[in-house]
Amino acid sequence: MTLIFNPKNKGLAKVFRDYQEMALKLVWEKGEQGVISKEAWEHVNKKLGDRTISRASIINFLNSMVEEGVLDYKEETGKGGYHRVYMPKLDEREFKKFLAKTVISSLLRDFPAETKEALKIVS
């Protein structure tokens, strides 16, 4: 998953859609207990109220967070076969640091002089 940064939005909405932020916060809240996709899907749709998100969207998002190194998972057997139980690899604070590092590194790669100059101004 490529994180798309929108500086106009506030908080984690700078890189996530509302349902993605809700799902990730649920995983952080549950911690090592973990969350299965069905639980995240039900939680998100309950919070959204007037609209629904597909379970596939939740699964794809959680799997992309595993690929990014934000979440981890273990496989368990259950009704219908195996399923993933998602747990945090990075907590919220660590994720925000990861995000800042990712954005700044990208800017330094493409605009090194301008980024260094801007960082001096904001620090």
Residues 100 and 77 in one domain: no
Residues 57 and 103 in one domain: no
* pTM of the model as a whole: 0.88
Residues 4-47 pLDDT 10s: 889 999 999 999 999 999 999 999 999 999 999 999 999 999 99
Mean predicted confidence (pLDDT) in 89-113 = 94
Residues 61 and 107 in one domain: no
Residues 75 and 104 in one domain: no
Encode 76-123 in three state secondary structure: EEECCEEEEEEEECCCHHHHHHHHHHHHHHHHHHHCHHHHHHHHHHHC
Q: Is beta strand 71-78 parallel, antiparallel or unpaired with respect to 81-88?
A: antiparallel
Residues 50 and 21 in one domain: yes
For 103, the domain range is 91-123
The predicted pLDDT at position 56 comes to 97
Identify the CATH number of the domain in which residue 55 sits.
1.10.10.10
**Could you give the number of structural domains in the chain?**
2
Residues 40 and 58 in one domain: yes
